[in-house]
Amino acid sequence: MSSTSSTTKITLKTLEAIKRKAERFACVTAYDATFAEIASSAGVEVLLVGDSLGMVVQGHDSTLPVTMDHILYHLDTVRRGNRGALIMGDMPFMSYYSEGLTLENAGQIMRAGAHVVKLEGGRWIAESTRLLVERGIPVCAHMGLTPQSINRFGGFRVQGRDPDQAQTILDEALFLEEAGASLLLLEAIPAPLAQRITERLHIPVIGIGAGKHVDGQIMVMHDLLGITPPDIKVPKFVKNFLAESQTGIRGAFEAFVKAVKDGSFPGPEHSY
C-alpha cells in the first residue's frame, strides 16, 4: 500500500518522526504533473524540483544554466500533480548571493508550491539559512558534491575521502543544523562519513551516493527509470528500477520506495 495519498500530507514533522523511529523515507526529482502524481501516489514522501532539470530536461552539461523562471515553471506543474508529498524547490545558481535576492527568490519558490527550499553549500550558507528560517521558510542544506560548484571541484568527484575534508563536512553539517536547517542532503560522500553525520544530527539526512545509513534516499527520476541522457555518465549510486518492474513506470517508483524502506537500496555496489 502506498504511504502517500491524496488524504495523507507529508510534512517536515512526518520526516522527523521517521528519523526518530529509525525508519527511512524515499525522495525523487520531479519536473511535471504526470510524474509528480505517479511518484507521490507510489509512496514517495519528497519530490524535489531540482536544477538537475538543466541536464535531464534541457540538455545542458551542468545545472548552471537553470534560472529562477525554469524552477518556478516546473514547481507549478509538479504542485498540480502532487498527491500529498512534501515538495522541495532548488535555489538555482547565483540566486542567493545577497540577502535581498535570497529572500525574494525563496519567497517566489514557496509561492509556486514548495514547502522547503534547497541551498547548496557549507558554512557559507549559514547566514542565508538563518535569514530564511527567521522568515518562516524551511531550508534543506545540500553538502558534499554540490553540482553548482562543479567548476571549483573540477568535475563530479566524491567529496570527504580525505580525513580533514571529512571532518570539515561533519563540522559544517552541525553548524548548518544549528543555523536552523530542517533537512540535510549529502551527495557523493563515503558511506561511513554519511553515517557519522546522520547519527550526530537531529534533523533528517537525505543521501544520494552516500550509503544506506541515512534517513532518506533520493534519486533523479530519469536515473531511476533508466533513461539518463546518453551523454551523461551514469553515477555509481544509480539503479534502474524500471528494468525489474512488472507494472511499468508506476511499478518502478513503487519498487524504489520499497527498496529504500526495507534497506535493500542502496547496496554496497552503489556506495563509496
Would you please indicate which residues are annotated as catalytic (active-site) residues? Answer: 187
Q: Quick one: cell of 238?
A: 544509480
Buried-state track 111-143, b at ≥16 Cβ within 10 A, e below 16: ebbbbbbbbbbbeebbebbbbbeeeebbbbbbb
Give the Å distances, CA to CA, from 88 to 51, 140, 248, 264: 11, 8, 26, 25
Q: Quick one: cell of 216?
A: 532518506
Segment 208-213 long-range contacts (CB within 8 Å, at least 24 positions apart): 208/237, 209/145, 209/158, 209/235, 209/236, 209/237, 209/266, 209/270, 209/271, 209/272, 210/144, 210/186, 210/237, 210/271, 211/266, 211/271, 211/272, 212/263, 212/265, 212/266, 212/267, 212/271
- How far apart, in whole angstroms, are the C-alpha atoms of residue 272 and residue 256? 20
